Amino acid sequence: MYGAIVGVTWLFRHQSLLGQGGRDPAMLTIVFLFYFSFVVYEGLMLGARGQTLGKMAMKVRVVRPDGSPLTRRQAWGRAAARTLFIAAWLSPLLMGGSSYQIPLFVLGNLDALVGLLTPRHTALHDLAARTRVFSAE
């Protein structure tokens, strides 16, 4: 899923390479739909099972800090927060020379940085949603 998001974001940024020049509103719609579909996919999967397909393959599960299953609200909140951080991290591809590019890029990286610095390696989107990722075994 990440590959599709990065690919569509890159395609939006480099439309001129494809001979379309400028930012086409249809392409912006496609980028929005990819981000929206990511929120829906992750929200539904986490709400139902606590795992996405990738988390199943890695044998990890998203749960509450006490180990109990997520509420639907936590699942959707985590999905939305995570997607916002991904979008911020990819903002240089979307915005080119925008003055917001650097602060958004820093915000996107802050999610991972907080995960490196917290005792249980909990990323910012997990702190916001009050969730943790644990081994599913």
Number of domains in the chain: 1
What is the per-residue pLDDT for 1? 56
Place of tokens 């249809």: 26
Domain that holds residue 12: 2-135
How does pLDDT run across 44-68, given as a tens digit for each residue? 999 999 999 999 999 999 999 999 9
What pLDDT score does 4 carry?
59
Supply the pLDDT for residue 137: 77
Which letter does DSSP use for residue 70 in this model? P
Cα 113 to Cα 81: distance, rounded to the nearest angstrom: 15
* Mean pLDDT of the 30-55 span: 91
Give the predicted TM-score (pTM) of the model. 0.77
Amino acid (one-letter) located at 117:
L
Query: What percentage of the chain exceeds 70 in pLDDT?
Result: 74
CA dist., res. 83 & res. 18, Å (int)? 27
